[in-house]
Amino acid sequence: MHIDPLRDGFSNRFALMALSILLAIILMAILAPVLTRFPPDYYTGQIFSPPSYSHPLGTDSMGQDIWSRLLFGARTTLFVAASVTLISTLLSFLVGASAALIGGLYESFWMRIVDAMSSVPPMIVMILLAAYLRPNLLVMVLLLSFLSWPIGARIIRSQVLSLKERGHVYASRTFGASWWHILKSHIAPELGPLLTAIMIQDARRAVFMEAAMGFLGVSDPMVISWGKMMQQALAFTYLNVWEWWLLPTGFALSLTLVSLSFLGLSLETAMDPRLRKDELGAE
C-alpha cells in the first residue's frame, strides 16, 4: 500500500482553504511595512479615530494605527508559532524516537518525564512562570517549547515502536544497518506525515498560548501582540471603538487558529485509514 498522507491531506477543500488563509496571513506579516504607512508605535496625533482612508482600522487609545499593529502583531504570532514548532517538534522527535529505539531504562526515564509534564496544565505553569520572569520573546519561545514537546514525544515514540517492528526495518537490520541508518532511511520518511501533524498542533498551541499570555498581560510589554491588543481594547468596550479594534484582532486570531485546526484535522483524516473516505488511496 503506497499512501502519501501529506498529499492527500493537503489536497482536500478544507485544507486548501486553511492553507490559503495561512498563506495570506504570512504574506501580510512579511509585507507589513509595505501595506501600511505608519510604524506600529507611531503616535498619529489622534486617538480613537474611526476607520478612515489613512487609518483603515482607525487608531487606538494611544493614537497608534490599529492596522499597522495588526500587521506587526501577525509577525509576533507567526514568529512564536514557527520557533516553538521547530524547537518543540525537534525535542519531541529526539526524545520519542531515541526512547523507542534504545528502550530500557532510558526509555522509562523519558516516558516518566513525559507523564509528569503532561499531568500539569501548561497554562497555569506558563502564567506562573511568566508572571515572575516577565519573559521577552525569546524566553517566551523557549518556555512554550519546553511545555509542549511531551505530547509529540509520546506520539512519536509509539509510532516508532510500531515502525521498528516493520518487515523492512528487520530486513535492514539483517544487512548490519546501524540505528542511525534505520532512523534515516526507514523511520524518518515514514514519520513525515506524523511530524507534520505534530508541527501543526504545536503551532496552533503556540499561537493560542502566546495570545493568552499577551491577553493576561504577563508577556513582554514592548512586544506587539494580538492578545495584548485585545486586552487593551477590552478596557474601552463602553466606546464603539471595539468595532474596529477588538473585532478585527479577535477575527485575525481566530482565523489563524481555525486554519491550523482545519489543516491538522484534514491531515489526521488522511493518515488514519479508518477515517479515509475513499478506501484505496488516491494513487
Partner 1 sequence: MMLQIKDLKVSFGKAEILRGINLGLEIGDSISIVGESGAGKTTLGLSIMGLVKGSHSGEVRFRGKDLLTIPEEDLRGLRGKEIAMVFQNVEDALDPVQRAQDQVAEAIRIHQRIGAKGAEAAAKKILMSVGLKGDKARAYPHQLSGGERQRVIIAMALANDPALLILDEPTASLDALTKADILRLFRSVIVGRISLVITHDIALASALTEQMAVLYAGEIVEMGRTDEMLREPRHPYTRGLIRSYPGMTTTKDLQSIPGRMVHGLRGCPFHERCTQRIEICQREMPPLREIGGRQVACHRGGIVPLLDVRDLCKSFDSCDVLRDINLTLYEGETLALVGESGSGKSTLSKLIMGLYEPDSGDVVLEQQKVLKRDISFYSRVQMIFQNPKESVSHRMNVLDAVLEPLVVQKKGTREERLIRAKEVLDHVELPSDDEFLQRYPHQLSGGEVQRVAIARALALGPKLLIADEPTSALDPSVQAKILKLLMGLQDKMGLAMLFVTHDISLARKVSDRMAVMHKGRIVETGATNEVLSNPEHPYTRKLVQCASGEPEKMDDRKMPDREISKATENIEINLGEGIRCRESNF
179 is a site residue for partner 1 (CB under 8 A): no
Contact pattern for partner 1 over residues 254 through 283, marking x by CB under 8 A = -----------------------------x
45 is a site residue for partner 1 (CB under 8 A): no
Q: Which stretch binds partner 1 (CB under 8 A): 103-111, 176-184, 211-219, 244-252?
A: 176-184
Tell which phi-psi region holds residue 176, choosing left (phi > 0), alpha (psi between -120 and 50) or beta.
left
Q: Which stretch binds partner 1 (CB under 8 A): 118-126, 178-186, 224-232, 267-275?
A: 178-186
Are 278 and 20 in contact by the 8 Å Cβ rule? The answer is no
* Nearer to partner 1 (CB atom), residue 45 or residue 167: 167
Are 22 and 262 in contact by the 8 Å Cβ rule? The answer is no
Least distance to partner 1, CB of residue 198, Å: 20
Rounded CA gap, 217 and 140, in Å?
Answer: 13
105 is a site residue for partner 1 (CB under 8 A): no
> Which residues ranging from 182 to 211 are in contact with partner 1 (CB under 8 A)?
185-186, 189-190
SS3 assignment, position 13: helix
What is the number of other CB atoms lying within 10 angstroms of the CB of residue 273? 11
Q: Which of 181, 212, 255, 257 binds partner 1 (CB under 8 A)?
A: 181
Are 199 and 84 in contact by the 8 Å Cβ rule? The answer is no
* Nearer to partner 1 (CB atom), residue 171 or residue 235: 171
37 is a site residue for partner 1 (CB under 8 A): no
* Nearer to partner 1 (CB atom), residue 41 or residue 272: 272
Q: Which of 13, 45, 105, 174 binds partner 1 (CB under 8 A)?
A: 174
Nearest to 28 by CA among 248, 223, 262, 221: 248
Least distance to partner 1, CB of residue 6, Å: 13
> Which residues ranging from 143 to 172 are in contact with partner 1 (CB under 8 A)?
166-168, 170-172
Are 34 and 28 in contact by the 8 Å Cβ rule? The answer is no
Rounded CA gap, 183 and 160, in Å?
Answer: 9
Show the cell assigned to 105: 531504562
End-to-end Cα distance, the chain: 10
Residue appearing with cell numbers 488514519? 272
In the complex, the residues that contact partner 1 under the rule CB under 8 A are 1-2, 166-168, 170-178, 181, 185-186, 189-190, 283
